[in-house]
Amino acid sequence: MELATGMRHGPVELRLVRPRDARALQHELLSNRQWLQPWEATVPYGAVSFDMRLSIRRLLQQYRDGAGYPFVMEYEGEIAGQLNVWGVARGSLCSATIGYWVSERFAGKGITPTAVALATDACFTEYALHRMEICIRPENAASLRIVQKLGFRYEGLRRRYIHIDGDWRDHYAFALTREDVPQGVLARWVNGQVPPDAATIPPADRMII
Mean pLDDT by 10 residues, the chain (209 residues): 70 97 94 89 76 93 95 97 96 97 95 98 96 97 96 96 93 98 98 95 80
Residue 165 backbone dihedrals phi, psi, to 5 degrees: 50, 45
Q: Which amino acid makes up residue 59? A: L
Q: 23-59: per-residue pLDDT in tens? A: 999 999 999 988 988 888 888 876 666 789 999 999 9
Q: What is the pLDDT of residue 2?
A: 47
Quote the pTM value.
0.93
Rounded-to-integer distance, Cα 50 and Cα 42, Å: 11
Rounded-to-integer distance, Cα 178 and Cα 129, Å: 8
Question: Domains of the chain by range and CATH?
Answer: 7-191 (3.40.630.30)
Rounded-to-integer distance, Cα 199 and Cα 147, Å: 6
The Cβ of residue 71 has, within 10 Å, a number of other Cβ atoms equal to 27
Q: What is the pLDDT of residue 47?
A: 67
Question: Whose CA is closest to 174, among 161, 191, 188, 193?
Answer: 161
